[in-house]
Amino acid sequence: MSDNKGLASGTLGAFESAIMGIAGTAPAFSVAVTTATIVGAVGELAVGSILYCGLIMFGIMLAFTHLNKITRHAGATYAWVGKVFGESWGFLAGWGLLIASIFFMVSATTPAATATLKMFSELFGAPEAWVKDVSYVTFTAWVWLTLVTIVVIKGIQHASYAQLILTVIETVIIFALIIGAFVEYGDKPAHAFSWSWFSPTSFSAETFAQGALIAIFFYWGWDVTMNLGEETKEGTPNPASSGAFWAMVNLILFFIIMMIVVLITLTDAEIAEAETNVLYAIADKLFPKPWSYLAVLSTILSTIGTIETQILQFSRSMFAMSRDNALHPIYSKVHPEWKTPWVATFVIWFLGSVLLFCATMMPTVQMILDASITAIGIQICFYMSLAAFACAWWYRDKLNKGLGTSVSYVVWPAFSGAFMVFMALYLSYTTLMNDDSEDNLAIYLGFAGLLIGLVPMFLGKLRRAKIKQIDFNR
């Protein structure tokens, strides 16, 4: 591990880390942006997909918390996989996260933009057509991306305070929706509750893989706690690990309950029509105006929160890789006053802006989201499965340390990693066989983003070899 070069160490405790982990998945945002996609793909089995994917992701969380015992590192997966399997695999794991984060700048800022335009339409008389107009949506998304980047670059303390405020407000609004939904529609649900929603036998292999891959998007983001490990306080257990654990427990319960709320409140047609405004559609059926607009506010706040944490995760990963000369050293520059990797932060803002510009060429907002979500799912499966396998291999001697220890350190992480690989490959195969040009584009984007990483990986090897040669000649 390279020495820490200027990050604000000792800033975050376990509570702040847990808030970062929850905010990283952005509960309101995840429900708003992904519900229409997952219900469209697997219908009522979306509830089971959320549950089983949550159990798989719990195994990944165990892997991360155990690997964090090896070393706290801003690069997290990049550093751990590199230590266990070698620098090439470590680089590719880190690259997978970087690429997923860049695509996420499109899928995250878009719901914030549509929610903002929805509120302007309802409250200030802006044209309703703006909400579905790709140009207006992408420009508004770019404005949000820029504003959040400014907050992040100002320092981790500012970012953590902002996350706490946003998460508290978002939580209060969401709980009001949950209570209202069960009171109003518990006895007259749009979809009658059934335990078959949870049954593994209700799934085919294809629907299980498809639902789980989309559900991954609900959970992704909690691992930002690990990338902030160098900026946490000392303690046992480590605050980053504690934060990840409690964030995951809360998220699994929340997403299951929230998906049930969506199904009992909205019909399939209403879910499809709502697109990225599912929470507003629920609130509009529960509360009179203007109170229903609070659901739009929760989506905006949640989205801002997840944009912030993803920029943090990207910038810390790029900083760590640059610090180790895996990427160009310029990305490891830390602002002398704010103690943030400002160059790496600027990079994700710039690349996110470029992708948002490219997104204006797609015909609908929903198509933009569907393509980015699928591409991100493949990249998440790649880098998280590598971390899971690294944990299982590093701690393989614990297989004879008792059932609980062997399951926690080896069996559960290894199973979760293997299942993530299966999901990505199976869905890619079935999608390409269906020969749908739009779905195929998402698959190609997912794998192309990973393959591009071979170029900077090769350049990094040349750069390190040159440095070693110079040191040798001295």
CA separation for the pair 247, 254 (Å, rounded):
10
CA separation for the pair 29, 306 (Å, rounded):
8
How much is the pLDDT for 294? 81
How much is the pLDDT for 368? 63
Helix axes 365-394, 87-124, angle to 10 degrees: 150
Which of 32-36, 82-86, 186-190, 301-305 ranks highest by mean pLDDT? 82-86
Share of the chain above pLDDT 70, in %: 87
Q: Which amino acid is at 228?
A: L
- Which residues, in sequence order, are bridge partners of residue 232? 12
How much is the pLDDT for 1? 37
Residue 396 is classified by DSSP as G
CA separation for the pair 359, 369 (Å, rounded):
10
Distances (CA, A) of 318 to 240, 311, 326: 19, 10, 9
Helix axes 365-394, 134-153, angle to 10 degrees: 40
- What mean pLDDT do residues 21-35 have? 76
Coil, strand, or helix at residue 168? helix
Q: Under a CB-based contact definition with an 8 Å cutoff, are residues 247 and 221 in contact? A: no
5 has a pLDDT exceeding 80: no
CA separation for the pair 99, 255 (Å, rounded):
25
Q: Under a CB-based contact definition with an 8 Å cutoff, are residues 64 and 343 in contact? A: no
How much is the pLDDT for 235? 54
Q: Under a CB-based contact definition with an 8 Å cutoff, are residues 32 and 276 in contact? A: yes
CA separation for the pair 370, 426 (Å, rounded):
18
What one-character-per-residue DSSP string does 263-299 give?
HHH--HHHHHHHTT-HHHHHHHHHS-TTTTHHHHHHH
How confident is the model over 144-167, as pLDDT tens digits? Answer: 889 888 888 776 666 666 777 777
CA separation for the pair 213, 46 (Å, rounded):
11
How much is the pLDDT for 369? 62
Assigned fold of 14-465: Amino acid/polyamine transporter I (1.20.1740)
Q: Which residues contact 455 (CB under 8 A, 6 or more apart)?
A: none
Q: How far apart are the first and last CA of the chain?
A: 24
How confident is the model over 367-414, as pLDDT tens digits? Answer: 666 666 677 878 888 999 999 999 999 999 999 888 999 999 999 999
How much is the pLDDT for 362? 62
How much is the pLDDT for 391? 96
Helices assigned H by DSSP within 11-45: 14-25, 27-42
How confident is the model over 250-293, as pLDDT tens digits? Answer: 889 989 998 999 999 998 888 888 776 788 888 888 888 777 77
CA separation for the pair 391, 84 (Å, rounded):
8
- What mean pLDDT do residues 30-58 have? 87
Q: Which amino acid is at 153?
A: I
How much is the pLDDT for 6? 54
How much is the pLDDT for 85? 95
Burial letters 285-296, b for 16+ CB under 10 A, else e: bbbeeeebbbbb
Which stretch of 18-22, 29-33, 237-241, 418-422 has the lowest confidence by average pLDDT?
237-241
How much is the pLDDT for 66? 92
How confident is the model over 187-224, as pLDDT tens digits? Answer: 889 998 888 898 888 888 778 877 887 888 788 888 88
Which stretch of 62-66, 79-83, 424-428 has the lowest confidence by average pLDDT?
424-428
How much is the pLDDT for 370? 65
82 has a pLDDT exceeding 90: yes
Map out the domains of the chain as residue ranges. 14-465
Question: Does residue 227 or residue 334 have the better pLDDT?
Answer: 334
3 has a pLDDT exceeding 60: no
- Tokens encoding 218: 């609900």
CA separation for the pair 309, 148 (Å, rounded):
10
Which stretch of 38-42, 58-62, 216-220, 420-424 has the lowest confidence by average pLDDT?
216-220
SS3 labels along 91-121: HHHHHHHHHHHHHHHHHHHHHHHHHHHHHHH
Q: CA triplet 152, 67, 55: central angle to 5 degrees? A: 85
How much is the pTM? 0.83
How much is the pLDDT for 134? 80
Question: Does residue 467 or residue 328 have the better pLDDT?
Answer: 328
